[in-house]
Structures are given as structure tokens and as C-alpha cells.
Amino acid sequence: MKLLASGQVPGNFALRQRLRFRAADGTSGALEAVLQVHCGALVIVGLSPLGQRLFSITQRGYETQVQSFTTQPWPFAPDRVLLDVHRTYLYPVADPPLADGSHTVFLGSFAFVERWQDGRLVERTIPDRLGARMGSVVVSYKGGVAPREVPRRVHLRNGLHDYEIEVETLSRRELICPS
């Protein structure tokens, strides 16, 4: 279990975020991003510091569509961006909260480990596989995150692909999906 179907993501909302990344090849940089879930569709838009669109990823069900607005190669493949978004923001947070300590959590048959402290999720460790190689993605929620909260600051480290991303969520807007 890796991607959730977009229709499984509850609510209609838009998160405006700032990202800072360091890639395996030593590239580092910053960008703005918007994560939107609306009427069963998930949209991620990346914007340059100058406000230019860099890329968009749209997911409907399990189908994904990627658009790039630059010819430069990206330090991360779009499917990894989408996967990281799911792991960090869309995998459900247990409600009621889990007891303090480490827990193995299952999404279908897919297992990962969560660490809870004071009623808040503080870390997720998720296995990542590329062919025969295996590594871990560690998502750290600064200050922890409670059920139905939006994590304010997140650090993600991918041990297999050797990259790190810091994400700050600047705002959350509730959206309406007309019935």
C-alpha cells in the first residue's frame, strides 16, 4: 500500500506550503507548493520563488497526471513527490490518539511504524523499496500532530534515495465541493 486513492482522502482543502530540499546530488533549493484536495481529486502545484509554475501533479483515483513547466531536470521524480505527500499528509492519523511509544500501523497490508508522545504523532518510519534495495523514509512532525490537525512543520528524510525535505505549512483553506 503506497498511494491512497484520491477519493479516500477526507475533506476539501488547500494547503499553501514552503519547501526547502537537499537532494542526493547536492542540489538544494526552496519552492512554494499548494496541496489541494477537492471533489475527490488531489492537485499539487509547485511554484518558483518568483511565483512561476514549475510543475503540477493531479491524481484522480489512482490515476496521476504530471505537467512540467520547465525543461530542467528535477532533483526528485514526480511520483516520489506524490508519494511523500501521501506518507506525510494523507495517511490517516489515528483518532483517538495512540498511546505513547512506538506502534506498527497497517494500511491494508502495508506496514509502517509510528511514534507517539503526549497524544501526538511525532514520527513515522516508512519502508521504501527500489528493486531489491530497501531503505526508510522518516517523517518527523515538529511539535507533533494530533488527529485532524495539519502539521505545521515537517522534516522528511529518505534514506534510500538520500534526500531531505523541510516543509512549513503556511495556511489551510477549507474548500467547498458542490454536490
- Contact set with other proteins (CB under 8 A): 14, 16, 18, 20, 27, 29-30, 32, 34, 36, 38, 43, 45, 47-54, 56, 58, 70-72, 170-171, 173, 175
Burial class (CB in 10 A: 0-12, 13-18, 19+), 179: exposed
Contact 115, 123 (CB under 8 A): yes
Contact 136, 159 (CB under 8 A): yes
117 or 171: whose CB is closer to other proteins? 171
E strands in 39-119: 41-47, 53-60, 63-68, 101-107, 110-117
Which of 89, 88, 91, 95 has the alpha carbon at shortest distance from 147?
95
Q: Is the peptide bond before 97 cis (omega within 30 degrees of 0)?
A: no
Count how many residues are written for the chain. 179
Shortest approach of other proteins to residue 165 CB, angstroms? 12
Question: In whole angstroms, how far apart are CA 84 and each of 131, 134, 160, 176?
Answer: 18, 16, 13, 25
Shortest approach of other proteins to residue 36 CB, angstroms? 6
14 or 150: whose CB is closer to other proteins? 14
Shortest approach of other proteins to residue 153 CB, angstroms? 12
85 or 121: whose CB is closer to other proteins? 85
Shortest approach of other proteins to residue 163 CB, angstroms? 15
47 or 160: whose CB is closer to other proteins? 47
Shortest approach of other proteins to residue 26 CB, angstroms? 12
94 or 177: whose CB is closer to other proteins? 177
